[in-house]
Amino acid sequence: MTALRRHRRLSAIWASEPGWKGWTSSVNHTDLGRMFLATSFFFFFVGGVLAMLVRAQLATPHSAFADAGAFSQFFTMHGTIMMFLFAIPTFEGLAIYLLPKLLGTRDLAFPRLTAYGYWCYVFGGSMLLVAMVLGIAPDGGWFMYPPLTGPLHSPGINTDFWLIGITFVEISAIAAAVELTVSILKYRAPGMSLDKMPIFAWYALVTALMILTGFPPLILGSVLLELERAFGLPFFQVELGGDSLLWQHLFWLFGHPEVYIIFLPAAGVISTIIPVMARTTLLGYGWIVASAVALAFLSFGLWVHHMFTTGIPFMGLAFFSAASTLVAVPTGVQVFAWIGTLWKGRPELHLPMLHILGFFVTFLIGGLTGVMVAVVPFDWQVHDTAFVTAHLHYVLFGGFVFPILAGIYYWLPLFSGRRRFFRLGELAFALIFLGFHGTFLAMHWVGLLGQRRRIETYDAETGWGTINLISSISSFVMAIGLAMVLVDLLIHAFVSVRAARNPWKAGSLEWASMSPPPPYNFASLPQVDTRDPLHGDPDLPNRLARGEGYLGDPATDRRETLTVSIGAARPDFMVIYPGNTRLPIVMAAVTGLFFLSILLKLYWVTPLALAGVAALAVVWVWRLGTQMDQGPQEAGRGVTLPLAGETEKSPGWWGSVFLLVANATFFGSLLFGYAFLWTVAPGWPPQEWLAPSLLEFGAGTLAAVIAMLALRFAIRRNRRHGGALPRLALALGATAVTALVFATLLVRLPPADGHAYAATLFVLGAYGLFHALLVGLMLAFVIARVRRGYASAVRVAEFHIVLLWTDYLAGITVLSLLAAHVPGVLA
Amino acid sequence: MKDVLRILLPLLVWLASFSAIYGLHGIGCAAGWPDVALAGSSLFRLALLAAWIAAIVLQVAILIALRSTRFRADEGFAYRVSVALAWVGVVAILWTLFPLATVAECRVMG
- The DSSP code sequence of A134-196 is TT----STTTT-TTTTSTTT--SSHHHHHHHHHHHHHHHHHHHHHHHHHHHHHSS-TT--GGG
Give the ipTM of the model, two decimals please.
0.92
Q: How much of chain A, in percent, has pLDDT values that exceed 70?
A: 100
Q: Name every chain B residue with its beta carbon within 8 A of the beta carbon of A293.
A: 7-8, 11, 81, 85
A327, closest residue in chain B (CA to CA): B92
Which member of A193, A301, A311 has the closest CB to residue B18?
Answer: A301
**Cβ(A39)–Cβ(A122) below 8 Å:** yes
**Backbone φ, ψ for residue B72 (5° rounding):** -65, 155
d(CA B88, CA A456): 44
Please tell me the predicted confidence (pLDDT) of residue B71: 85
Do the strands A497-498 and A559-564 form a parallel or antiparallel pair, or are they unpaired? unpaired
**B14: nearest CB among A287, A297, A680:** A297
Contact criterion met (CB < 8 Å) for A567 and B27: no
| pLDDT for the residue numbered A4 | 87
Q: What is the pLDDT of residues A494-552, one digit of tens each?
A: 877 788 888 899 999 999 998 889 999 999 999 999 999 999 888 999 999 998 999 88
Contacts of A567 in chain B (CB under 8 A): 1-4, 75, 78
Q: Is residue A725's pLDDT more than 70? A: yes
Task: Measure in Å the smallest separation between the Cα of A450 and chain B Cα atoms.
Answer: 20
User: What percentage of chain A has pLDDT greater than the value 90?
Assistant: 80
Peptide bond into A685 cis (omega under 30): yes
Closest Cα in chain A, distance from residue B72 (Å) = 14
Distance from CA of A414 to the nearest CA of B (A): 31
Chain A and chain B share a number of CB contacts under 8 A equal to 118
> What does the pLDDT average to over A456-464?
93
pLDDT in tens, A418-445: 888 778 999 999 999 999 999 999 999 9
| Domain definitions of chain A by residue range | 260-462+488-513, 648-826
d(CA A262, CA A206): 11
Cβ pair B88:A314 closer than 8 A: no
| Amino acid type, A29 | H
What is the distance in angstroms between the CA of the first residue and the CA of the last residue of chain A? 78
Interchain contact, A316 vs B22, CB within 8 Å: yes
pLDDT at A173: 94
Model pTM above 0.90: yes
**Number of C-alpha atoms within 13 angstroms, CB side, residue A112?**
21
Contacts of A568 in chain B (CB under 8 A): 75
Phi-psi region of A560 (alpha: psi -120 to 50; beta: other; left: phi over 0): beta
Provide the pLDDT for residue A583. 95
Which of B8, B97, B102 is nearest residue A293 as measured by Cβ atoms? B8
Any idea which architecture A260-462+488-513 has in CATH? Up-down Bundle (1.20)
Query: In the predicted model, is pLDDT for residue B8 greater than 70?
Result: yes
Chain A residues whose beta carbon lies within 8 Å of the beta carbon of residue B4:
185, 194, 566-567
Does residue A605 have a pLDDT over 80? yes
- Distance (Å, whole) CA A714 – CA A728: 6
Per-residue confidence (pLDDT) for residue A552, from 0 to 100? 87
Q: What is the pLDDT of residues A179-206, one digit of tens each?
A: 999 999 999 999 999 999 999 999 999 9
pLDDT at A465: 94
Asked whether the beta carbons of A548 and A524 are under 8 A apart, the reply is yes
Extract long-range pairs of A448-451: CB within 8 Å, 24+ residues apart: A448/A382, A448/A385, A448/A387, A450/A385, A451/A385, A451/A386
pLDDT of residue B110 exceeding 70? no
- How high is the pLDDT of residue A719? 84
C-beta atoms surrounding A527 within 10 Å: 19
**Nearest residue to A261 (alpha-carbon basis) of A304, A194, A212, A305:** A212
Nearest residue to A97 (alpha-carbon basis) of A516, A540, A566: A516
Given this model, what pLDDT does residue A734 score?
A: 96
Query: Helix, strand or coil for residue A413?
Result: helix
Mean pLDDT of A648-669: 95
**Three-class SS state of A418:** strand
Calpha distance A670→A302 (Å, rounded): 19
- A801 pLDDT higher than 80: yes
Domain A648-826 classification at class level: mainly alpha
Cα R_g (chain B), whole angstroms = 17
- 3-state DSSP assignment of residue B93: helix
Q: How far apart are CA A202 and CA A181, in angstroms?
A: 10
Distance (Å) from the C-alpha of residue A652 to the closest C-alpha of chain B? 16
CA distances from A259 to A265, A322, A704, A718, B27 (A): 11, 18, 39, 48, 29
Listing DSSP states for A323-359 in one string gives HHHHTHHHHHHHHHHHHHHHHHS-----HHHHHHHHH
pLDDT beyond 70 at A397: yes
Reported as a pLDDT band with limits 50, 70 and 90, residue A679 is confident
A461: exposed, middle or buried (C-beta count within 10 Å: 0-12, 13-18, 19+)? exposed
Residues of B in contact with A311 (CB under 8 A): 108-110
Residues A704 and A809: beta-carbon distance below 8 Å:
yes
- What confidence tens digit (pLDDT) does each residue in A740-767 have? 999 999 999 999 999 999 999 999 999 9
> From the CA of A660, how many Å to the nearest CA of chain B?
16
Q: What is the distance between the alpha carbons of residues A288 and A337, in angstroms, rounded to a whole number?
A: 7
